[in-house]
Amino acid sequence: MPELPEVETVKNELAPHLIGHKFTDITLLWDKVVKQPSAEDFRSRLIGQEITGLSRRGKYLSIHLSRGDELVIHLKMSGSLLIGKGSSAPPKHTRAIIHLDGGTTIFFSDPRKFGAMWLVKDSSSITGNLGPEPLEASFSPEVLAKRLHNRQAPIKALLCDQSVIAGIGNMYADEALFYARIHPLRQGGSLSPEEIARLHQAIQQVLRTAIGNKGASMVNYYRPSGETGTAHFEFKVAHQGGKNCPVCHSPIQRIKVRNRGTYFCPKCQPAP
């Protein structure tokens, strides 16, 4: 699933192609990709609107429009937003095509059909239950400590809980816990102030590095150009089962934490 670094990359790379342009048409090849409003209202309200900006909240992308609407998109497990020009043929699994003035098209490709779009007046109606943004200046070790206070759930599950922190998923939770030397089954409320400080730093380091590498293309993630990201080439434990830890050379292990495949080093991240 595209996580914060992937969605941030999509936002950054789409912006020059979208801002200042108008919707000329919307082709819905699968109506159920639109969750709100009806497919007919979705098309009629979008056509003619100018794109004034893009933003990201957690794993959600928001496209800001001239009449005060926001087009909110979630790529879910396998979605991609791909740029086409002129008569470009839709990629396989395209569910919607956004047509812009100047001949640019944006293909919403989604093999697993979990992706979704909403057209709303206020994106907080969709994203209002999300936790803090981990890369904002207001996200401090003290904020992280409050989010974890008295929590008995495994820290891996808490990091992936979007109501605790927005944007972190499986891959980057594994990487952050490795850098912070914390076992994924540790109860969130059991972390010491020193461990919380290490985890806070690790979260921000891992996410910023991944954004710099344009996201991780493990399975279905593609940048708007169709190119892949390279963040996965620097993963230390995520999806590295069967390899050795780059620090201590112990075999990296895989376990399930709340039904999520989880990778860690048993020596660098000692069990609770």
CA-based nearest residue to 105, from 87, 83, 89:
83
Other Cβ atoms less than 10 A from the Cβ of 13: the count is: 17
Residue 246 annotated to the active site: no
Residue 227 annotated to the active site: no
Residue found under tokens 């109606």: 125
Indicate which residue of 3, 8, 70, 175 is catalytic: 3
Indicate which residue of 56, 59, 186, 198 is catalytic: 59
Residue 59 annotated to the active site: yes
Indicate which residue of 151, 208, 260, 267 is catalytic: 260
Q: Are strands 116-120 and 70-74 parallel, antiparallel or unpaired?
A: antiparallel
CA-based nearest residue to 126, from 50, 62, 177:
62
Residue 2 annotated to the active site: yes
CA-based nearest residue to 222, from 104, 31, 78:
78
Distance CA 77, CA 111 (A): 9
Other Cβ atoms less than 10 A from the Cβ of 239: the count is: 18
Would you please indicate which residues are annotated as catalytic (active-site) residues?
Answer: 2-3, 59, 260
